[in-house]
């Protein structure tokens, strides 16, 4: 196996993410949830964490443009996974929340992620995968709180 160079870090992380997404999408589709893609997870990840939210707040949390988030909202609303309701704090705004079907897909994402974990553990071993997760968590945590130069 060829040596991986330091300058390949970003490329390797992105390729790993791409592989993870492909495996996750495949598992979701096999479980009866076709059409869910990476872009939708920008909403899933933040809406699941914060509960009902305005699309502009979800866009900010995901680091995408509000117009891009609205496109995701419309797609997921069309699939019956989310709905919009009036914001009691601002009658001009709408809050986005999961429908019952949306809650089911969040549960399925957890199960599908566990199956992808098992696939990766089969490739590199459980201990190695645990070490990788700990290292990535450290990078993300310290990178978020740390100094970027």
Angle at 96 between CA 92 and CA 102, to 5 degrees: 160
- Name the phi and psi angles at 89, rounded to 5: -85, -20
Domains and CATH numbers, the chain: 6-145 (1.10.10.10)
Q: Are 39 and 74 in contact (CB under 8 A)?
A: no
Place of tokens 């993870």: 20
pLDDT in tens, the chain (149 residues): 788 888 899 999 999 999 999 999 999 999 988 888 888 988 988 886 767 899 999 999 999 999 999 999 999 999 999 999 999 988 888 999 999 999 999 899 999 999 999 999 999 999 999 999 999 999 888 877 666 65
Q: Which long-range contacts (CB under 8 A, 24 or more apart) does 82-87 make?
A: 82/43, 82/47, 85/52, 87/54
Contact 31, 107 (CB under 8 A): no
Helix, coil or strand: residue 109: helix
Decide: 79 and 112 in contact? Cβ < 8 Å: no
């Amino acid at each position: 196996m060829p040596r991986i160079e330091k300058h390949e870090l970003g490329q390797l992380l992105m390729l790993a993410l791409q592989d993870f997404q492909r495996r996750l999408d495949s598992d979701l589709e096999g479980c009866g949830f076709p059409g869910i893609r990476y872009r939708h997870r920008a909403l899933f990840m933040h809406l699941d964490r914060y509960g009902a939210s305005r699309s502009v707040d979800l866009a900010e949390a995901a680091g995408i443009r509000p117009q891009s988030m609205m496109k995701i909202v419309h797609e997921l609303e069309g699939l019956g996974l989310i709905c919009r309701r009036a914001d009691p704090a601002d009658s001009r705004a709408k809050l986005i929340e999961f429908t019952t079907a949306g809650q089911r897909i969040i549960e399925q994402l957890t199960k599908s992620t566990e199956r992808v974990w098992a696939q990766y553990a089969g490739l590199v071993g459980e201990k190695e995968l645990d070490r990788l997760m700990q290292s990535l968590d450290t990078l993300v945590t310290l990178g978020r709180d740390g100094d970027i130069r």
